[in-house]
Structure 1
Amino acid sequence: MTAADFTNLHLQYKSTQAEGEVPAVIEHDFADGRMVDHYYVTPSPAFWQDEGVAQLDAVAGISFLQQAPGEPWKIAVHEPAMIREVVFDFAEEEFQKMLADSGVTLPG
């Protein structure tokens, strides 16, 4: 996955989910601990065509999960029952590009 696979990232707070958007969370570290922020994100057509994603019955949400320093982020794509998921590596550079492209600065 690359930054181009996710566009229109914006906070859920005081927002309405638009057509084509999926609820997303970003779980990230900051100076005093770990934080979870809620967003909406628009996945690209290539995202939906990925073999793993296409095998899910539906997508209820996407989690962007920060890993240990130097490790790539994980992207977990969840179906509504949260029984099955698809997990991708997401390079730090691509994650930062996704944030920059959407004008998002993580709190904390």
Structure 2
Amino acid sequence: MAWLVLVLSGLLETAWATALSASRGFSRLWPTVIFGVTLVLSMGGLAYALRTIPVGTGYAVWVSIGAVGTALVGMFFLGEGFSVLKALCLLLIVAGVVGLKLLH
């Protein structure tokens, strides 16, 4: 259960990071509200997961899901551009986190 919550919390990190950008420095109401709600839910889920998952592994998984997810949203939906080198870098992040999980 903790791993499922951790993965969902990582996806919520992607949501709050995207909403933070869309809020334009907290000057737009609905993206700011979405940012606040998803931030609290993401942090709450991380806190719950860290009850049973070691902090180093849990935080690395959480932040990597958020980082990779946010980068993919930027590339495919926000016009930040896709390249093979960017994809390779994201795969390296995923490989590192998988390695941490396997060594856990």
State the structure with bigger RCO (CA 8 A, min sep 6), 1 or 2. 2
Structure 1 or 2: more strand by fraction: 1
Question: TM-score, normalised to structure 1's length?
Answer: 0.27
Question: TM-score, normalised to structure 2's length?
Answer: 0.28
Structure 1 or 2: more helix by fraction: 2
